[in-house]
Structure formats: C-alpha cells, structure tokens
Structure 1
Amino acid sequence: MSTPDAAGLPEYDYRDLGLVAGLEIHQQLDTATKLFCDCPTERRDPEVSVRSFTRYLHPTRSELGELDDAAVEESRVDREFEYLAFDSTCLVEEDDEPPHRLDAEALSVTLEIAQLLDMDVVDQANVMRKIVVDGSNTSGFQRSTLVATDGQIQTSDGPVGVTDMLLEEESAARIEEHEDGVTYGLDRLGIPLVEIGTAPDINTPEQAREAAERIGMLLRSTGHVKRGLGTIRQDVNVSIADGARIEMKGVQSLEDIEALVAFEAHRQVRLVEIAEELADRDAEVGEPQDVTEVFADTDSGVIAGASRVTAVPLYGFEGLVGAEIQPDRRLGTEFSDHAKRNGAGGIFHTDELPAYGVTEAEVAALAEAVGAGEGDAVALVAASHEVAEQAIDAVAERAKTALDGVPEETRGANDDGTSRYLRPLPGAARMYPETDVPPVEPDPTEVERPELLTEKIVRYQEEYGLDAGLAEQVAYGRRMTLFERAVDSGVDATLAAGTLESTTTELRRDDVPVENLADDHYLAVLELVTGGELAKEGVGEVLTVLAEDPSLSAEEAVEAAGLAGVEESEVREAVAEVVERNAEQVEEQGMGAFSALMGEAMGALRGKADGEVVSEALREEIGKRS
C-alpha cells in the first residue's frame, strides 16, 4: 500500500519500508473527584489562583538502584517550578499529604472501557510510581495502575491488539515557561486518566488514524470522558525496518496522526540514507572546542552577545548537516534541538555560513581552529560559559548517532506534522511501587457494557424519530448524556436534540458565552417548555440570558427575557390584529397568506406562545375572512 502526500513526500510502500506503529491514547475521565483526593475535576482560570509555591525536583533511583536516562537528562538543567494553587487545592495535590484510596468512580469507568476494548481485567490492581522530573507533578512522580490487558479493536486493514490499559493521574497544566523554570496550574493535576496502549500492529499512516478514531469512539461511548482541547492526547510510536522506535508525544488531534506517521517514516528513511553516505565518507565527530577568540571582533549580533563560543568539527559531514529530513527541518535542526534542550538558542553550522553576520573569513578561521578541511562541517554554539559547553557536548553526541542512523528518542509533535527532539526514551528504571495506596481487586461484573455511539445513532432514529444527521450529531456531541437525561425526564427528543446541537451552535456563532451554561441550565429550560411555561421558540433567548448571568434560575431568565407565557385569549387577540392589518392580502390569497402572516404573528408574540397554538389560531382567523 502506498500513500501520496500533499506535502511533497515520496509515495512510499509502507509495508516494504517495514513501517510499524503503535498508539498510546491518554483520555481524561469525567468524574466528580480526582483520582487520589476529593478535589473537583473542573479546570480553572490561572487568574483565579489564590497563592503559589515553588519546588526543585531531582531524579531518584528505582528499587534496583538504577537511574532513568530521561529523568537524568531532564535534571541536568536546573529549573525552578512554580505551582499555582486554587481555593479547591488540597494537601494531596501539594504533596504535603499521602494520597487517598483509588477513586471508585474512575475505576468503574475504566472497567466499562475494558469491556468495549475486549480486555482482560487484572485480578489485583497495584498503584505504581513513575518518575517524572519535568515539574508536571509536585511529587516528582506520576501514580499509575495497570487495570486490563490483551484487548483488540478492528480496522479495515485488520485487527490491532490493545496490550494494556492503565488508570493514572493527570499531570499539572503547563501555564508558562520562563528563563528560570516553568509555572504549572494544580487544577488539572490528579484528574483521572486512562492510558491505552496498542500493539505494534499498525502498518500504514491511514491505519494509525483509523485505529485512533475507533478507540476515541469507544471512549466517548461511556459518556464519562471529558471533551475538548487537551482532554485527549495521542502518543504515537513509529519505526521502519532500518530505523528505530520513536515515541511522539502530545498529538492533540486525530487528524494529525496520519501526517505525523508519514512524516516520521520519511525522516527515518532520510536519516538512514544520510548514515549510509557518512559511512561512505568515513565520517567522524571530533572533540568540542572553545573558539571564542575566533569571533572576538565579529559583527554577528547573536555571537557577539555571548560570553563563550564552542564548536565541534564534523569530519565528512559537509552538505549533510543542511540536508532536509522533513519539510523545513534538516539534520542541523536535529542538532539544534539538542542544543536548545540544554539552554542554548540553537546552533550555527558551516553548511549555512557565511550568514547571520558571520563572514567568510571567520568561517575559514573557524575551520582552521578546529582542524576542519574540505568535505568537513563545523557546528557552533554561542551562549553563556556553562550553557555553551553543555550544548556543544549534546550536539556532538547527536552527531555521533547520525553515523549509525536513527536514534531511539522521545519527540514532540509540531503543528505542521513534523516533530522535534524532547528527550531519550524512558526505561523501566523509572517505575517502582506506590506504598501509600492499597491495592484494589477490580470486579468487571459490577459494570455493564456501554452502548456504542454507533448503536445509539440507530436507537435514536428508531426510538425517538430523529433523522440520521441529527441522531449522529447528538450521539457524537459533547452533550449526549444530557440529551438522554432530558428525554428520560419527559422532554421531547426532537426539541432536546435541536436545542443541544443546533440552538447552541447558533448562539455560539452569535458570540453568546454558551460555555457558561451548565447541564442543569439546559435541563431546567427544556422542562419549562415541556410544562407549558415557555414556548419552544423562546428557548434561545432564555439560554442567552442564562449564559450571560448563570446565577439566575430558568424562571428568572424567562422573566428577564420578557417571555412569560400568555393566555390563549391574548394569543388570539394578537393574531386577529395581524390578520386585520393584512386584510387585503387575506381577501386575495385566503389560506395562501398563512406562511407570511405566521412569521409576523410569531414576531408580534416574541416567542411567548408555542408555534402550534399560534398556527391554530391563525388558521381559524384566516378561515373566518376567506
């Protein structure tokens, strides 16, 4: 199978490349409280934080005395982490109190997901600690527990195994990165999260997207997962036969997965080709050196502003440091990623010099200083003393891996489908038991298999008479569970569906702050219509009032909108006035004038009366005059 790519990638046969991919889906659960404390799971605006505190984090050894490579690299940069606390923040979130027992609601939802993925639930779930020193958890580790294994989903290219599902606590939200460290918000820390890992059964970019979409549908079928940007993230593991396993983190959108897999396969192909060319040239990486004196009188603003300039000779690399490996990304960009990871702003290299204020004479002096000749390249870093030394060492190490081809690593997904270096792949040395939380024995018989969204679409059509399009909108929409609550309470299904999907969309387009509307707001307004206290034509106006002042009750919003119900006699009086004003049209057209006058009558009543009542009165009034 081959996939043409709009970005100009070659048309690869991915099976011939030996493409292998797997997914890790991270989905926040919509539970009342967090995983190990009783704090709410609602997100907060950083502006309403009530205080903050700071921490420094360092890697710890596993039970076997080992240090994880990713944690060690993270700790090399000394950073201060600030945490924003809210009025709901507790001692567990601050890591000043041991975690409570595993949340029962979160475990129940996880068991529902296990059923949909055809997974085997473990006999005993034990909570583990996973070392994390990027500041995203106040404790320096994330708590995680294996709940189920050995599942499977179906795709058009065949089955994809689901190896495991873990129930974890979500990390703190990154608010701001600054020179001294990172600021995090504690509102997100501890929200229950499931991590679903597939087997490496995916062989094409299209299959990767299809598998992610299938898992996403199954998750939403529970009705107990959070929706919106940042509530679901996909990590994608990719390799080709001659490459290496790469983990790409933080894929926010399902639409991005296909491009990311295709771009990564291409990157690995190019790195393998570059390694082969370097081998033909007998290329090697020299020792980093201090070349500050070479640029003592430079006109380059970036270099002149640095206290130290370091360089590494790359023998046999000429022309290859600037070789493109992904759109707008080159081998030199990979080197630069590693320099940035160590605090530098990036690198310069001789495949792109002279430029940026660096003269041809300075390039020649640089080559002489480090012993580089024809066919060679030089990479340099300009920064403070400490950063320049650390960054050039990191560049040299990355250049050495280029001789071998594709290094295993964790990468971050970019918006354009490309990726950037983040850190080494984590290992098992970062996992060890959590001693503060007792194990639990999950019982899958205590939960029922949820109805799939695809099954709901059929049921909504057959049971409620919704058309196929509206049924699909409701089933896949964010308010599916609210729709079912409304219908169960006696609200007309078509009214509920139209309000939650069409009316809400229209209000949002009109810049009404619908994000202020809670489920109870919708339900109360719909129940007023069902009880005859509000015409369905007035629903949009009442929701607008509630969105602008959520503290009002639905009844108060009706009053504020001027939509208090009218008596039937008032409806007939208003209709009679409309017909009287249009007597000549009624005399000429008879019932043919109905449509035009109906709109005028509804406008005169401003949504105070139900359309069916107005329609009946108008027909009677026209009938009297024709």
Structure 2
Amino acid sequence: MSDADYDYEDLGLVAGLEIHQQLDTETKLFCHCPTERREPEEAVRTVSRYLHPTRSELGEIDDAALEESRVEREFEYLAFDTTCLVEEDDEPPHRIDDEALDVTLEIAQLLDATPVDTGHVMRKIVVDGSNTSGFQRSTLVATDGEIATEAGPVGIADLLLEEESAGRVEETDAGVVYGLDRLGIPLVEIGTKPDIRSPEQARAAAARIGMLLRSTGHVKRGLGTIRQDVNISIAEGARVELKGVQSLDDIDDIVREEVGRQVELVDIAETLREREASVGAPVDVTDVFADTDSGVIAGADAVVALPLYGFDGLVGREIQPDRRLGTEFSDHATRSGAGGIFHTDELPAYGVTDEEVAALREAVGEGEADASGGQPRAGEDDAVALVAASRTVAEQAIDAVAVRARDAVEGVPEETRDANPDGTSRYLRPLPGAARMYPETDVPPVSLDPTAVETPELLTEKVDRYAEEYGLDPGLAEQVAFGRRMPVFEAAVADGIDATLAAGTVESTVTELRRDDVPVDRLRREHFLGVLALVDSGDLAKEGVGDVLRTLAERPELGAEAAAEEAGLAGVDESAVRETVAEVVERNEEQVDEQGMGAFSALMGEAMGALRGKADGEVVSTVLREEIQKRA
C-alpha cells in the first residue's frame, strides 16, 4: 500500500509530539558553567564511568535501563577548562537556575499552559552514558495547554525543564566518548496530547511550537539545539516512540513511514498466525560452517542459528524502504554486540553456498523446538536466522532475535526507535516506564510565580511591528524576526542603531560571509553590537562592516575596535577622505573634463576602493561631487 492509499482516519492514526529545545541562558541548569559548545580538541582531560541501573522507590528496575546495561561499556567524557565537579558528578548540583525558570514560565504562557505551584526536581534513570550520574534531572513546570493548527487544536500535556545530556563524540571498541560541554544546558521538553491525526498536522504542530519557542528570544539555534520525538500508533498497531528527529521537514515523512511499517507488520502477523508460526530453540551450527568461504562467518568463534517455523519469505519482506523484517531482527542482535544476522530468505549469498544452506536446515532440524510447538526440522515453509560472533555475543544476540521474532507473531511491539535521515527508523530500546523516575534529594523544591514574567511578543507580531515601526521591507522584517539573531537586532535598535543597518548586518551581511565559508557561527552578540556601535559613532564606514565581522569570526577573541584595526579599516576623518578623492579625480582628469558628472559612477567605485571601507559611502559621494564640480 502506498502513502496515497492510506486513510489515516480509517487506520486510527494517533500521534503526539515531544519537543526538546535548549535554552540560551548564561549558565547551566545546576551549576555556574557557561552554556557554550566546545570542540573536542579543546578538551583538557577525560573522565571515565561504568553505569548500572538502580531500582526505583518501589524496588522496580526500568526495562529500557535494564536492556541498556546488559552490554558492558566504558563511557569516556571529555572535560574542558570550564568543566566543574557538578558536571563530573563529583559534587551535588546547585539550586535550579532562575533565568532558565523564567524563560520556561514565558514558554508556559505562550502555550496557554497552567504552571504548577511548586517545582520538584526528579531523577530519570539514563544508563546509555549520556549523563555522568546515570540519571537526568527533570522538573514539571506546567500542564494542560493548547496550540492551534489548521486541522484543529492540539493539547499540551506537560512542559518540563530538564538538563541536556552530554553530546556524543564517537564510538570506540570499549564504549562511547561524550563531551561534557553540552551536559547540563537548560532544556525544555514539551509533550503534546495524542491529538494529532495526520502527518501534515504533526508537522504543523511542531512548526507552531517552534515559532512560540523562538518568540522568547532565549532559545539556542542551530543543528542539534532542538529535537523532536514523535509517538505514533494505529488502531491495530502499538505505540512507538521515534526519537531524535532533527529537522522539522522530516516529521511528516517520519509519521508516514512509521504508519507504513506498522501496516506491514500487522499484515505479517496475520500471515504468521494463519501459518501457525512459531520460534524454535537456538542451535549451535558452528560445525556447518567449518570450511565456509564466507569471510564474516569464517572469522567468528561460534555460529548460532534460530529456526523460525512458518517465517519463510516473510523475514525478507520489506516493511520500509530498504528495511525488512530481517532488518528488525538485526537491530536487536546489534544491541547485544553482534554485527547483524544472516537469514535464509537472503541465502545463499555473502559467500554462503546452497550446500551450506541445506546443511544448516538439516542441523537446525536436529535441535528441539520450543514449548510453543515447532516442527522437527526447518522445512520449505520455514526460515532460519543465524548470528556469527564470539560465543557469548552470538548466544545473547540470537536470544534477542528470538524475542523479536515472537513479537512478530503477535503484531507490532511497543518500543523506542531511532529516526533515520531518510524517514525510516531502527530499534533503539523498549519503551521506558514509570520505574525510571524518582525524586531528586539534592535540589530543594522551588516556588513558581508566573506573574513575575511577561508574555513574549510572537514572531508573527514582530514581523508586523518591524515593518510598521522601523520601516523595514516586509521580507526583511520576516527574515530578522524568524532569524537566529533576532535578539541581536532588538538590542541594536534599543541602543539607537539604525534599524535598516542592523537588519542588513544580521541577515544579508552574515549570509554573504557564510557563502564565503567564513565561520559566522563564532560571531557573538557583543561582536555585532560592537561593530554597529563603531558605525554609529562614525569610527567605521558601513562598507567596512563585513570585513570587520570576517576578522572577528576568524579571531573571536578580538573586540570590535581591535578587529577594525586588524582589518585596516579604522575610520578616517573628512580631510583624509578629501585628499584621497582629490587624488582619484586628478588621476582621471581627462575623463572628468570630457564627461563631467557622467564620470561620477566610475570614480565613485575607484574612490571607495582606495579608501577600502574606511569612510562612509555618503561622505565619499558628497566630497566626490564637490571635486568634480570644481573641475567642471
């Protein structure tokens, strides 16, 4: 079935969003470290941890945390010259950051959500290494809000303030390397109610929430600063959480692909039940491949196979583009450390021969079927999956495949999946449960006062105001309002800077520099305001703004004045301008005598080039006209 054939209402599509947005505050949520990101090569030391799940107050262990802990991994953390003991989990957290709380309360107002009276910090168990402590701190701030979309309102279930996880740097043979620069940045999580009924509405809801967040002027911008998780189910399927959707443009595709996956899995389950399919017991088939030409299998210590009675032709069935039921099995195997699986729907291949496939089926037939009742050997209607690895990994991986295969008979398993860039997804872990949450005893509760903050102006409202109040072109007004440097623009005009100059600088000039591969992301608020102040005071010509910003991007430690000196663009007085312009006119005396003011355009370009952006174009124009008129 193609997407065009889906009737989402008939399928019973239900979806909800979880939006995670980093806040742009001065310090982190539970310490005084800065929230700026760093490059891995700037690290000054490393910290190592092994993490294990803990029991909740009720004595329960979360399934997701338990599965994550089954593979022993070392987590290494890159520490920087700004890293503190809180980030290393060697000191208790400080009180929750007031600035982050205020921004979160502003967001609550924009979402029409009701703040709670008191914020209680909770611990959420996370043992994937993304937090040195083995848990993430999270605080419920508001509930029961609502946003509007063209397809109808979408309720806001909750708004939480959390600490961001550590950023993954790389995977190693021993485990994972993370950077501590991201850990602890204030992060809001917005969870919608399951009111979304189509891929288009999911995207519209995410876009609306994103606009509201940016309206505060206090959220970080750029890749990785906002992430969308999507919870999706259909009537005959199950709730699946898709994590890590980086781009707004991907949300509707993610929903479509997950609906398609669940439709296919439901159909596969019906076929398996019609065939009275079952999953057998694992069998050691290492001897079958003793002389194999398959490089992957030949290099393994052990080969363990799993008979899948009634699965023939279905393991290789495509359920998403370039992803099959066998790929789902493989996802589970890799979680146990295996490289993947082979299965008979794709064999002979990869160096495995027809004779080895026949021997494999015969060997599996010598094993015992499980209690669900199998057949004495794997026949033509059956499939076989196998894992080649070290014995421990192979046995753990084939057990994981068996669990997933039994789920296939039942239908769609509830789980957490990782969103792929192409709109498909892969298995990540079981859905987390309530057992992973328990109170944080090191941070005191905090009273929340929504009257202490003002409701921010919406970006859509800013566009109209910029056009009306500052006379900006509507297109430029929209670029500035929705752009990542809107707060810089507002600070500049508040300082008396010409609005058109400020808008052109933060949008057009930055775009031109980016096209020239200038690292504009290194430019900070004070860089822009410093350069614009030089122009306003007459110490820098407007024409020199781009060159000074280029210098600051390459050497961000400089101030605006030093960068202007470095770029050779320190302002010149009017006498120096007159001297330079007079020299230009003198060199072009014959052209001036013949054309008079007709020579103005050519000489203007030459004069500006000679001054190299040191003088304002209007001043140069005035002086040049005077000099030409003298000649005339």
Fold shared by both chains (TM-score > 0.5): yes
Distance across 2 between alignment mates of 1:562 and 1:97 = 49
Match of 2:406 among 400, 403, 407: 400
After superposition, the C-alpha distances for 1:98-142 in whole angstroms (9 at most, x for unaligned) are 111111111010000000000000011111111111111111111
Match of 2:151 among 136, 148, 157: 157
**SS of equivalent to 1:403:** helix
Distance across 1 between alignment mates of 2:78 and 2:567 = 39
Q: CA deviation at 1:484?
A: 0.9
Match of 1:528 among 517, 534, 537: 534
Gaps of 5+ in 1: none
After superposition, the C-alpha distances for 1:61-118 in whole angstroms (9 at most, x for unaligned) are 1111111111111111111111222222222112122111111111010000000000
- 393-402 vs 14-23, greater mean Cα deviation: 14-23
After superposition, the C-alpha distances for 1:316-355 in whole angstroms (9 at most, x for unaligned) are 1111100000000000000000000111000000000001
Q: CA deviation at 1:153?
A: 0.6
**How many residues are aligned here?**
620
The share of aligned pairs that are identical, in percent, is 78
- 570-579 vs 418-427, greater mean Cα deviation: 570-579
Distance across 2 between alignment mates of 1:72 and 1:30 = 34
Q: CA deviation at 1:548?
A: 2.6
1:490-501 superposed matches below 5 A: 490-501=496-507
**SS of equivalent to 1:538:** helix
- With normalisation by structure 1, the TM-score equals 0.96
- 303-312 vs 39-48, greater mean Cα deviation: 39-48
Distance across 2 between alignment mates of 1:40 and 1:552 = 19
Distance across 2 between alignment mates of 1:458 and 1:594 = 39
1:117 maps onto 2:111 in alignment: yes
Cα RMSD of the aligned pairs, angstroms, is: 1.5
Distance across 2 between alignment mates of 1:79 and 1:569 = 71
After superposition, the C-alpha distances for 1:376-399 in whole angstroms (9 at most, x for unaligned) are 110000010110001001101101
Match of 1:23 among 17, 22, 27: 17
Distance across 2 between alignment mates of 1:474 and 1:448 = 22
Distance across 2 between alignment mates of 1:234 and 1:172 = 17
1:507 maps onto 2:501 in alignment: no
Distance across 1 between alignment mates of 2:10 and 2:50 = 48
Match of 1:306 among 293, 300, 303: 300
**SS of equivalent to 2:442:** coil
1:271-290 superposed matches below 5 A: 271-290=265-284
Distance across 1 between alignment mates of 2:14 and 2:521 = 41
After superposition, the C-alpha distances for 1:19-60 in whole angstroms (9 at most, x for unaligned) are 111100001111111111111111122212222222211111
Aligned to 1:547: 553
Distance across 1 between alignment mates of 2:174 and 2:566 = 51
Q: CA deviation at 1:624?
A: 4.0
- 276-285 vs 418-427, greater mean Cα deviation: 276-285
Aligned to 2:347: 353
After superposition, the C-alpha distances for 1:407-426 in whole angstroms (9 at most, x for unaligned) are 00000011111000000000
Aligned to 2:391: 385
Q: CA deviation at 1:9?
A: 4.3
Aligned to 1:48: 42
Counterpart AA for 2:601:
S
- 276-285 vs 513-522, greater mean Cα deviation: 513-522
Counterpart AA for 2:618:
E
Counterpart AA for 1:211:
A
Distance across 1 between alignment mates of 2:310 and 2:102 = 59
Match of 2:286 among 288, 292, 301: 292
Aligned to 2:370: none
Contact 2:146/2:153, CA 8 A, preserved across alignment: yes
Aligned to 1:250: 244
- 209-218 vs 559-568, greater mean Cα deviation: 559-568
Q: CA deviation at 1:260?
A: 0.5
- With normalisation by structure 2, the TM-score equals 0.96
Distance across 1 between alignment mates of 2:564 and 2:285 = 75
1:34 maps onto 2:40 in alignment: no
Distance across 1 between alignment mates of 2:82 and 2:480 = 33
Contact 2:572/2:615, CA 8 A, preserved across alignment: yes
Distance across 2 between alignment mates of 1:377 and 1:546 = 63
**SS of equivalent to 2:238:** coil
Aligned to 1:472: 478
Q: CA deviation at 1:567?
A: 2.8
Contact 2:47/2:88, CA 8 A, preserved across alignment: no
Distance across 1 between alignment mates of 2:307 and 2:522 = 59
**CA distance 1:518–1:66, shift in 2 (3 Å):** same
After superposition, the C-alpha distances for 1:585-618 in whole angstroms (9 at most, x for unaligned) are 4455443433333222211222121111111222
Q: CA deviation at 1:517?
A: 2.4
Q: CA deviation at 1:10?
A: 4.6
Counterpart AA for 1:237:
N
After superposition, the C-alpha distances for 1:176-222 in whole angstroms (9 at most, x for unaligned) are 11222111111111111100000111111111111111101111111
Aligned to 1:457: 463
Aligned to 2:313: 319
Counterpart AA for 1:195:
E
Distance across 2 between alignment mates of 1:555 and 1:430 = 53
